[in-house]
Structure 1
Amino acid sequence: MVTHDDTVSRRTYLRATAGASAAGLGGLTGLLGQNLQTLEVQHWWTGGDGADAIQALFEGFQEQYPNVQVNQNPVSGGAGQNLQTVIKKRVLNDNPPSSWQAWPGANLLPYTRANKLEDIEESVWSRNSMKEAYLQGPQDAARPSGNYVTVPLNIHRINNLFYNVEVIEQAGVDPSSVSTPSDLVGALEQVSNNTDAAGMAHQTQSAWSTLQLWTTVLLGEHGLDTYTAFTEGNVQQNEQAVKNSLQIVADYREFFNEDAGSVGWTEANSKVINGNAAFIHQGDWAAGMYRGQSGFAFSEVWDQAPFPGTQGTYMLNMDSFPFPTNNPSPEATTRFLRYVGSVDAQRRFNPPKGSIPPRTDVSQDAFGPFLQRQMDQFQNAESQPLSTAHGLAVDPETLTNLEDAMATFVSSWNVDRTYQGLVQAFQ
């Protein structure tokens, strides 16, 4: 069977043949050697590990497709919000780039509801053994409205509890004995009583970290079914669980670093590195900071455990690349998305990014010991729920409302008022 990867499209072939009729066989050969289309890809990886990772991805793509001209058109700032604003305007105005960095899942519902994304099951997902290599969670995220419309490239785990080994040993805390989020309160108190360190490093300057923490507590304390019901808007039916998990986070607050309201997550994470905090809950991008510290060795100086109560669960945040309608370069975009879903692309991109591949057949050789452990736990996970705090489990409007409710929470720590905000977030 002839595929787009093996030859040019029928339209391109006919155009080339028409040119060859006038200019001879040499004209056809010249046409086929030219750049067929320019691939415009927008992303927000403009610095640090992300910049290194995306460059590695495009280097691999260009090695395989040297005749595709790549136009990277990054939009920096706002933790991706600036890019999302640009993309929303372009896509809804029928002037999309070829593809862009996007959180998959419910984050893409505004585009699928407006019929602005193409079904790529046959053109992309049927190639490279993708369906066999991707587990259920990433596949579900790739088809928010039923059809495959995007290709996940990486996975960052959300339900982590990182810790400074020396601090918790000094405090007499054994992380393996902390079995639920509510049990963690006692461990934080132990740190506070026995060391000069904060029990938990955290930032409340912006709401997303607390939304991420609270949803992980909800998952760990009350289980996957309750978490899923919440993401589906069944808040009042789970009032007791929602309020109880909010109260647990409010209890953690007593053990946060004193400057939680004036620092970002990187400054909070630095407190784990320098021994001024015992624990931090964060996505596994936090480990990228540990990797860059001389003498801060994994399992010896820092370590990680699934957040209490979430063992066997791998909560997913991912980046992906969709295929928009009115695509300015459909052939080049098809090639690019097939490449994004390949072993080679994910082997190149994920080690420098500090993430793991959604494919389960990528060799672990290029990954360090922490990510190797994450890969094993992902592949053996009983469930792979999608992150709420990053818009994979809820649509953008609901996410904004949830962030507003969390902003109210961190300013007042009022459980009942925050619960009402969570109910209203879905209405």
Structure 2
Amino acid sequence: MTDANEGTDVSRRDYLKVAGAGTIGVTGLAGCMGGGGDDEETTTASEGTTESGNAGGEETTTEGESSTDYETLEVQHWWTGGDGNKAVTALFEGFAEKYPDIEVNQNPVAGGAGQNLKTVIKKRVLNNNPPSTWQAWPGAHLQPFVNADKLQDIGDSVWAENGMKDAYLQGPKDAAKPGGKFVTVPINIHRLNNLFYNKTVVENAGVDPSSISKPSDLVSAMKTVEEETDAVGMANQTKSAWSTAQLWAQVLLGEYGKETYVAFTEGKVEANKEAIKDSLSIVKKYKNYFNDDAGSISWTEANKKIINGEAAFFHQGDWAAGMYRGQDGFEFESEWGQVPFPGTGGIYALNMDSFPMPKNNPSPEAAKKFLQYCGSVDAQERFNPKKGSIPPRTDVPKDEFGPFLSRQMDDFANSDAQVKSIQHGLAIPPEAKSNFGEAMSTFTSGWNVDKTYKQLKQAFN
């Protein structure tokens, strides 16, 4: 299944075991590998790719001709199966068509929900032997590399091409420059503030998901579902903490707004004590309507309860829709639906993959061409329909995306704000993210609001 977070709660202690592999003194990287991954693979969406030619105004080259002797481009990623592999294959096919003279060495690192790749990258960067580029979450996740002066400013060499600065909205652009300068190129967006639902279940219960105005109101809707049907109110997994951590972030966002959400990511925990504790209390109320086996199943097994009509609601990133698209007879808007998580209308909560530009680059010219291509219409039109994600560019045609992703594209283009994921480390730096994960593990273990709040308060110290 998809790029989610299954089994990716990695402690800071585990991460620091690899710190000795690098050059002494690069202290800015001491926590850059926090868990919270994006590495299960989804069932496929559209099988087609597009031949978009020179879409997006990118620089043209004549196939078979070369005016530059490029070094081999080495790209490391964790897309080794499922939708991710189909998407990255389409991406490199398009790149080969545009730059046939650039030899590409895909050097994927499988396993660990992306954690294995992150460990490899940290060692290589610390030893001044990075690949040409690699798959990485942007935003605060890259801050340690910026602090250690390991990433190159690509504002003029890459972001000035293909109309990128005009085609990307502010949220993705901000994530691409964690230190104030462009250092990476986001290639996709997975939305986090989704509430999926089984249409038959909610209709039988007399519940209208679009009328639920805020997260606290969802409690009564789930109660009605359980009173009127045999389904549970909300499917979830609590075997690992990430699903509930992600859910809590949407509750905070929907109940208390963007400003409070951003304030939390800035470490202003005590100033927002009541909002944070109340949001935890709301999620604790949700627990009463989870499936009884939440503590022993995966998120994909929880999602099957929506498909099978055993649950009304499910919160997850939009990778969950890959399962629905892959299920015969389970069609969008007839069997299943989606609304923005209550209270988050007009906001698009971002998780993204990107490709950064390291210093000491073994193939700087080839890397520059690859990053320019990743920021183009053609690349994003090839990659995202297969990945089950949407493009960060707002000028990519919707023809290949299907009805659900097309609507997500509209929501993104028309959004008033885009906020970065806490769970995936786009919004908070790695050490704080590791501490956040430990606090949420405490929460799902005992559902103790006060104890969890105290750990969240300490997470940014």
> What TM bracket, shorter-length normalisation?
over 0.9
**Which of 358, 361, 366 is matched with 1:332 structurally?**
366
User: Which residue of structure 1 lines up, in the alignment, with residue 101 of structure 2?
Assistant: 67
1:207 aligns with 2:259: no
Q: 1:32 deviation in Å?
A: 5.0
1:220 aligns with 2:258: no
3-state SS of the aligned residue for 1:384? strand
Alignment deviations for residues 380-403 of structure 1 (CA, whole Å, 9 cap, x no partner): 000001010110000111111000
**Are the counterparts in 2 of residues 76 and 83 from structure 1 also a CA contact under 8 Å?**
yes
1:209-358 equivalence runs, <5 A: 209-358=243-392
**Which of 207, 229, 233 is matched with 1:195 structurally?**
229
User: Which residue of structure 2 lines up, in the alignment, with residue 22 of structure 1?
Assistant: none
Q: 1:85 deviation in Å?
A: 1.0
**Are the counterparts in 2 of residues 5 and 335 from structure 1 also a CA contact under 8 Å?**
no
User: Which residue of structure 1 lines up, in the alignment, with residue 442 of structure 2?
Assistant: 408
**Which of 210, 213, 217 is matched with 1:183 structurally?**
217
Alignment deviations for residues 190-241 of structure 1 (CA, whole Å, 9 cap, x no partner): 1111111111111111111111100110000000000000000000000000
User: Which residue of structure 2 lines up, in the alignment, with residue 360 of structure 1?
Assistant: 394
Between structure 1 and structure 2, the one with the greater Rg is 1
Normalised TM-score (structure 1): 0.92
Q: 1:34 deviation in Å?
A: 8.5
Distance 1:34 1:376, change over 3 A: closer
Distance 1:6 1:406 in 2: 49
Distance 1:285 1:101 in 2: 18
**Are the counterparts in 1 of residues 347 and 416 from structure 2 also a CA contact under 8 Å?**
yes
Q: Which runs of 4+ in 1 moved over 3 A?
A: 4-7, 30-35
1:141 aligns with 2:175: yes
Distance 1:422 1:5, change over 3 A: same
**Are the counterparts in 1 of residues 90 and 383 from structure 2 also a CA contact under 8 Å?**
yes
**Structure 1 stretches lacking a partner, 5+ long:** 8-29
1:381 aligns with 2:415: yes
Distance 1:330 1:412 in 2: 50
**Which of 24, 30, 54 is matched with 2:88 structurally?**
54
3-state SS of the aligned residue for 2:220? helix
1:421 aligns with 2:455: yes
Distance 2:60 2:374 in 1: 17
3-state SS of the aligned residue for 1:71? strand
- The residue type paired with residue 343 of structure 1 is V
User: Which residue of structure 2 lines up, in the alignment, with residue 117 of structure 1?
Assistant: 151
3-state SS of the aligned residue for 2:75? strand
Distance 2:417 2:428 in 1: 18
3-state SS of the aligned residue for 2:347? coil
User: Which residue of structure 2 lines up, in the alignment, with residue 151 of structure 1?
Assistant: 185
Between 1:154-163 and 1:80-89, the stretch displaced more is 80-89
Distance 1:32 1:278 in 2: 57
Distance 1:279 1:80 in 2: 28
Distance 1:6 1:57 in 2: 17
Q: 1:5 deviation in Å?
A: 6.0
User: Which residue of structure 1 lines up, in the alignment, with residue 49 of structure 2?
Assistant: none
**Are the counterparts in 2 of residues 312 and 377 from structure 1 also a CA contact under 8 Å?**
yes
User: Which residue of structure 2 lines up, in the alignment, with residue 14 of structure 1?
Assistant: none
Distance 1:300 1:187 in 2: 20
- The residue type paired with residue 445 of structure 2 is S
**Are the counterparts in 2 of residues 156 and 284 from structure 1 also a CA contact under 8 Å?**
yes
- The residue type paired with residue 337 of structure 1 is L
User: Which residue of structure 2 lines up, in the alignment, with residue 18 of structure 1?
Assistant: none
1:174 aligns with 2:208: yes
1:60-99 equivalence runs, <5 A: 60-99=94-133
Distance 1:205 1:79 in 2: 15
Distance 1:333 1:144 in 2: 20
**Are the counterparts in 2 of residues 152 and 358 from structure 1 also a CA contact under 8 Å?**
yes
- The residue type paired with residue 198 of structure 2 is N
Q: 1:33 deviation in Å?
A: 7.4
**Are the counterparts in 2 of residues 33 and 67 from structure 1 also a CA contact under 8 Å?**
no
3-state SS of the aligned residue for 1:96? coil
User: Which residue of structure 2 lines up, in the alignment, with residue 372 of structure 1?
Assistant: 406
Distance 2:269 2:412 in 1: 28
- The residue type paired with residue 352 of structure 1 is K
**Which of 406, 413, 425 is matched with 1:391 structurally?**
425
- The residue type paired with residue 98 of structure 1 is S
3-state SS of the aligned residue for 1:255? coil
Distance 2:443 2:307 in 1: 28
Distance 2:124 2:337 in 1: 43
3-state SS of the aligned residue for 1:148? coil
**Structure 2 stretches lacking a partner, 5+ long:** 1-57
Normalised TM-score (structure 2): 0.86
- The residue type paired with residue 217 of structure 1 is V
Q: 1:36 deviation in Å?
A: 2.3
- The residue type paired with residue 296 of structure 2 is S
Distance 1:187 1:90 in 2: 50
**Are the counterparts in 2 of residues 35 and 69 from structure 1 also a CA contact under 8 Å?**
no
Alignment deviations for residues 259-316 of structure 1 (CA, whole Å, 9 cap, x no partner): 1111111111111111111110000000011000000000000000000000000000
- The residue type paired with residue 273 of structure 2 is E
User: Which residue of structure 1 lines up, in the alignment, with residue 163 of structure 2?
Assistant: 129
Distance 1:202 1:32 in 2: 53
Alignment deviations for residues 301-342 of structure 1 (CA, whole Å, 9 cap, x no partner): 000000000000000000000000100000100000000000
Distance 2:129 2:205 in 1: 57
